[in-house]
Structure 1
Amino acid sequence: MGERHSKSEVSEQINDRSSDMDAMNSLEILQLMNDEDHAIMPALKKALPDIAQAVDIIVDRFRIGGRLIYVGAGTSGRLAAIDALECPPTFGTSPEQVSFLLAGGPEAFLAPIEGAEDDEEAAARELLALELTSNDCVVALSASGSTPYCIGALKYAAGLGAATISVSCNQETVMGKLSDLSIEVIVGPELLAGSTRLKAGTAQKIVLNMLSTASMIRTGHVYRNMMVDMQPSNSKLKRRAVQIVREATGAGQEESELALQSADWRIKTAVVSLLANVTPEEAEELLHRSDGFVRLAVRTDMQK
């Protein structure tokens, strides 16, 4: 029964373990779901070398002024949109540095757009509108690895010389063959046959977390394990900013608040200003010379 579909369609296979799921009570269903979710982490661990290589590619593109552009449809596209939209407030990036294309357009985030994922030419048109260049990196996500919208994006990006990465939950996919790098997280058949919003969706969300977070760490947006480029846009985040400065520098509450106010609430600037005992303007110069890395900025000051 497990061989109803080919290896390349594992995300569509019937899961024998859940064949009587409709006769189970609530706890039994949840226990089964929990058991199935245990397949995600081993599959991710196997894919870590490829995910690390993808991070290196993204970092290289960032360093030459390139962008990271996610492309996806349905669940995959919505997850990618969330990851992209969370980068500016978390890491202080511009909305353009990490962006997304969702089949059917932004309105498809709230409601399905019939047939959008089958339009291979639409993604090419949208990447053209974004003025994609060879400096950029396109990451296409699809549980099946065969979504036409994503295929169109990869073909167009490859034609321009942009870096291309595919993320799927199947093996030997069309998208993988079109990409410079293929990340395959094989989580097995879904508990609810073909419902890739379950294990496949969870796996893709974790891959997205890894790609964006590791890339931001590698490009200086984090000091130790703190979000020093976070945008403190409300009172709650301002309190968090003060706490970050206190943790990063050992300064007291009042000193941390004053440093942030002097730095126009730029956390990274306030941290370097306190650690290096310099003015905010001097801290900005140190950060510029160290490509935004707090640790290097402080060392640079010590070496003067």
Structure 2
Amino acid sequence: MLLRQTENLPDHPAIDAVGPDVAAKMMLDAQVAAVGAIAGASDAITRAAQVMADTITSGGTLIYAAAGSSGLMALADVCELPGTFGIPTDQLRLHMAGGVPADGHMPGQTEDDTDQADAIAADITQNDCLIALSASGSTPFPVAIAEKAAARGASVIGIANNPDTPLLNIADIAVCIHTPPEVLAGSTRLGAGTAQKVALNMMSTLMGLHLGHVYQGRMVNLIADNAKLRERAAGIVRTIAGVTDQKAQTALETANGNVKVAILIASGLDPVQAQQALKVHKGHLGPCLARND
């Protein structure tokens, strides 16, 4: 049986056969090459982001499914969406084989557990979008969920690091990031994991753009739930609306912390007008502010 690319070794000395400085450079070079491989998947990433945005807009749920290192990449992405883009938590779900580890222990056998697929798929609808990840492209847990989700009419985005694999063949949108062999054969937390994280970052940020949650390069739909983010929110309102810090703070209080609404209030609208403008323009600030000029 042919080994997957992620199981092969690169054509140079093993990292344990060279000095630490050389090994470190080899690892860094491999990471850079893995990120470079994303260029070949840019079109699929762009299409996937649109499907994700459409899912959120229609009231559907983004569902992530993965095991092992891919599961950790999925966990990072899904947990960042509420704070960064204000995505409601009831529209987000993560299924990680064996559950999210609280003690650093991820039992290997859980990635083979396909018995959960039926129970997980029972809650998936045709309005939802499944994002399934597997470096090999054949991990049983996400593949089984992808099969069930597709059968239920959900949109399926598959992310894998080997071409022509079961997960990518099931997916409506196949994001194949054909990364080079790992410097530590089979350890996909290195190159493949890095590439998956970057791809997810791109997809979810592009989704934020589609939803109007980014304006002038700023996170205008962030959830300001700590001191740092409250200060950032005030700075965003102050900069975009061109007002004093005090007026920005007052606008945020009036808007109950909603940054977009606060920007429009600071720009001259009352709260009702601000909400109505955002509704008309589907959450996009640009046309709301142009209307107010």
TM-score normalised by structure 2 residue count: 0.95
Percentage of matched positions with identical amino acids: 35
Aligned to 1:233: 225
- What is the alpha-carbon distance in structure 2 between the residues aligned to residue 124 and residue 109 of structure 1? 27
Aligned to 2:5: 10
Aligned to 2:147: 155
- What is the alpha-carbon distance in structure 2 between the residues aligned to residue 248 and residue 97 of structure 1? 29
1:165-197 CA deviation, whole Å, 9 max, x = no partner? 110100100111111121111111100111110
Q: What aligned pairs does 1:243-254 form with structure 2 within 5 A after superposition?
A: 243-254=235-246
CA contact (8 A) 1:222 1:228 kept: yes
Q: What aligned pairs does 1:38-187 form with structure 2 within 5 A after superposition?
A: 38-107=32-101, 110-128=104-122, 131-187=123-179
Q: Which gives a bigger RCO, structure 1 or 2 (Cα 8 Å, sep 6+)?
A: 2
Count of aligned residue pairs for this structure pair: 293
- What is the alpha-carbon distance in structure 1 between the residues aligned to residue 103 and residue 287 of structure 2? 40
**Amino acid of the structure 2 residue aligned with 1:211:** M
Cα distance, 1:65 vs. partner? Answer: 1.6
Aligned to 1:280: 271
- What is the alpha-carbon distance in structure 2 between the residues aligned to residue 284 and residue 221 of structure 1? 15
Seen in structure 2, the aligned counterparts of structure 1 residues 194 and 114 have a Cα distance that, compared at 3 Å, is: closer
Cα distance, 1:61 vs. partner? Answer: 2.2
Q: Select which of 277, 283, 290 maps to 1:292.
A: 283
**Amino acid of the structure 2 residue aligned with 1:204:** Q
Seen in structure 2, the aligned counterparts of structure 1 residues 56 and 109 have a Cα distance that, compared at 3 Å, is: farther
The alignment partner of 1:69 has SS state of strand
- What is the alpha-carbon distance in structure 2 between the residues aligned to residue 243 and residue 162 of structure 1? 39
Aligned to 1:194: 186
Structure 2 gaps, min length 5? none
TM-score normalised by structure 1 residue count: 0.91
CA contact (8 A) 1:91 1:231 kept: yes
Seen in structure 2, the aligned counterparts of structure 1 residues 109 and 73 have a Cα distance that, compared at 3 Å, is: farther
CA contact (8 A) 2:35 2:198 kept: no
CA contact (8 A) 2:68 2:108 kept: no
**Amino acid of the structure 2 residue aligned with 1:70:** Y
- What is the alpha-carbon distance in structure 2 between the residues aligned to residue 266 and residue 59 of structure 1? 20
- What is the alpha-carbon distance in structure 1 between the residues aligned to residue 121 and residue 79 of structure 2? 18
How big is the alpha-carbon RMSD for the aligned residues of Structure 1 and Structure 2?
Answer: 1.7
1:10-38 CA deviation, whole Å, 9 max, x = no partner? 1111223242x213222111111122222
Aligned to 2:23: 29
State which drifts further: 240-249 or 110-119: 110-119
- What is the alpha-carbon distance in structure 2 between the residues aligned to residue 151 and residue 299 of structure 1? 46
